[in-house]
Amino acid sequence: VMSKNKSSESVKVVVRCRPLNRKEESNGPAGSIVQMDLRLGQVILRNPRAPVSEPQKTFTFDAVYDANSKQGDLYDESVRPLIDSVLAGFNGTIFAYGQTGTGKTYTMQGAWMDPQKRGVIPNAFDHIFTHISRSQSDKQYLVRASYLEIYLEEVLDLLDPNHGNARPLELRESPESGVYVRDLTSCVCKSIKEIEEVMNVGNQARAVAATDMNEHSSRSHALFLITVECSQPGPDGRKHIRVGRLNLVDLAGSERQAKTGVQGERLKEAAKINLSLSALGNVISALADGRSGHVPYRDSKLTRLLQDSLGGNAKTVMVATLGPAPQHYDETLTTLRYANRAKNIQNQPRVNEDPKDALLREFQMEIARLRAQLHHRKWRTKQKKEQVDGEGWERDGDEETEGEEEDEEDEEEGVEKEAEEYVKQEQRLEREKQDIREDQFMLADEKQRLLGEKERMMGVLRKEQEATEQLTAKYKAMESKLLVGGKNIIDHTNEQQKMLEGKRHEIAEQTRSEREIQQQMLVRDEETVELRETFTSLQQEVEAKTKKLKKLYAKLQCIKAEIQDVNDEHVRSRQELEQTQNELTRELKFKYLIIENFIPPEEKNKIMNRLTFDPEEDQWKFQPLVPSIFTMFLKTKCCISGYE
């Protein structure tokens, strides 16, 4: 059941510019083409090829971070509120967008071992588990993590042990959960260390290669998915469940083949990367425009997975990363334009309350069932003791009933008592067997019968003990997967740290609020400056009007230059696509040549006959060589019905 809050909010867009690297500094003293006004949240871009008289381009965003900015500042001011929303039951997405080599992976991951350089993802891990440890003890949490990549337009599970040989996963859509990945591995994580281990396993399998612009260029889009389920008692006494989903997206960078110098397999990767980023740009443009009835989410796997994050049920933060070097002016301008459009996208986030498929509720039901089985087993044991030993067992049974009450307070103590009870019963049966053997007045047949009965009882007791131990182990394993709030707060230091983080959050909120107020004041000043003007003479009015005319003319020139820039960018993109198309066509012709000269026609026909088009996946697929049992059954059934 989803809450009915239909309020919409804009995608939050922040921009970060990296410093010049050594290679760019050695190219000449041209300096940075990007200036940032941190107070107003503005980016000022200078065209290195334009004359000095041409006005610079200015873009305004929710926040901007220059080359001297720290990882912690970006997280506290722009990301922390989003993680808090996820912990409150909202869907949240953070994704880094920009040209290759501009610091997307550094922003998202950073240097894990250095606390000052940790990126968004490790800081989010710390934030989530610290929040859980400091929450009230009546709350229970379940944290799950998945990791996937989109490589050559195929969705691959980075946590699959056979990642190198694994089949691509399929995208599916349901009315309740939206677009999801079928058969994606999900790992339950109980600590920061465990979720970091999941991340490390996935990072080792991710596609990375060197290009002329980046030694460690990401060759795939990576999505790290965290699901946080929280259960807490409500005013009605029932347990209510909220589910927050966090998508941490590290996009591969857009590339120009002329600059990256990629060939062969790298060129194919670049073509697929640019294709999916182009589809993402089209989705952003369609949503920002507002007039388009169709949003092309299905043009790529990336846009389908981000469907909720762009215009759907999610709170979204987009981090646009820039390169300050003059030779990357065109790419920087393109990134700023896309980021500027993304500000106009409206999402409709809502709290995910009591979903039918909440895994936490399934865990709780399983634990309750196992606990009931344990108590039932204890009750049966008590009944057997009463039947075997009369009054003495009744007294022990009363003691066990008291033990059951203590069980509800302390499960571990109850398990220990249960084990001790089994040992006592086994010892008692051994003593009774010894007494029977030593009794000289009992007939041999009677002795044998009683000894056999005691052996049988001991066998039953051992089976009961093994079954109870298995149940207890399963119960403890299930319960250990749930995180209970409040268990780790034992000293005053945590309280002080919590207060410190609260103050830091207040400062970040105040800074953001001040920036918004200053931006609003700037806009209002421009609107009201004409109303406030009064003239003492005709000459003064002429001068003011002339000044205003020059200002409007400058704006007109800016718009004309903008139109020319867009046309030039379109031409460049088309030329780049044509060049990539020619490269791929040449490679395709080469493969056709191999097929025509080295593969027999009958083998080629067999392969062609196996091809089928999957409209759901929008691609061609091979039918299996051996038909499935179900298909054979259907064919057999049709033959039989036809014969009849």
Give the H or E element holding residue 40: none
Backbone angles phi, psi at 332, to 5 degrees: -65, -45
> Is 539 among the annotated ligand-binding positions?
no
Q: Collapsing DSSP states into helix, strand and coil, what is residue 442?
A: coil
Q: Collapsing DSSP states into helix, strand and coil, what is residue 298?
A: helix
Report how far residue 104's alpha carbon sits from residue 15's, in angstroms, rounded to the nearest whole number: 11
Expressed in angstroms, the distance from the first to the final Cα of the chain is 51
Q: How many CA atoms lie within 13 A of 363 on its CB side?
A: 21
Closest by CA position to 96, among listed 31, 154, 16: 16
Burial of 175 (0-12, 13-18, 19+ CB in 10 A): exposed
> Is 321 among the annotated ligand-binding positions?
no
Burial annotation 361-373 (CB, 10 A radius, 16+ → b, else e) = bebbeebeebbeb
Q: How many CA atoms lie within 13 A of 142 on its CB side?
A: 20
**Helix count and strand count (H, E) for the chain:** 17, 21
Structure tokens at 160: 């699959």
> Is 105 among the annotated ligand-binding positions?
yes
Closest by CA position to 357, among listed 180, 117, 148, 602: 180
Report how far residue 228's alpha carbon sits from residue 435's, in angstroms, rounded to the nearest whole number: 60
Q: Answer for the pair 140, 360: CB distance below 8 angstroms, yes or no.
A: yes
Torsion (CA) 437, 441, 445, 447 in degrees, nearest 10: -30
Q: Which residues pair with 34 in a beta bridge?
A: 45
> Is 104 among the annotated ligand-binding positions?
yes
Q: Answer for the pair 313, 347: CB distance below 8 angstroms, yes or no.
A: yes
Report how far residue 97's alpha carbon sits from residue 113's, in angstroms, rounded to the nearest whole number: 24
Structure tokens at 122: 């490790």
Report how far residue 347's alpha carbon sits from residue 310's, in angstroms, rounded to the nearest whole number: 7
Structure tokens at 360: 């936490």
> Is 293 among the annotated ligand-binding positions?
no
Torsion (CA) 569, 574, 577, 583 in degrees, nearest 10: -120
> Is 103 among the annotated ligand-binding positions?
yes
Which residues does 406 contact at the CB level (< 8 Å), separation at least 6? 413, 414, 417
Q: How many CB atoms lie within 10 A of CB 342?
A: 25
Q: Which residues pair with 37 in a beta bridge?
A: 42
Report how far residue 155's alpha carbon sits from residue 220's, in angstroms, rounded to the nearest whole number: 10
DSSP string, 88-120: TT-EEEEEEEEBTTSSHHHHHTB-TT-TTTB-H
Residue written as tokens 């009744």? 394
Report how far residue 97's alpha carbon sits from residue 343's, in angstroms, rounded to the nearest whole number: 14
Q: Which residues pair with 315 in a beta bridge?
A: 92
Report how far residue 103's alpha carbon sits from residue 418's, in angstroms, rounded to the nearest whole number: 58
Closest by CA position to 583, among listed 257, 272, 331, 153: 257
Closest by CA position to 335, among listed 556, 104, 555, 151: 104
DSSP string, 50-72: S-TTSPPEEEE-SEEE-TT--HH
> Is 102 among the annotated ligand-binding positions?
yes
Q: What residues form the annotated binding site for ATP?
A: 98-105
* Binding-site annotation: residue ranges: 98-105
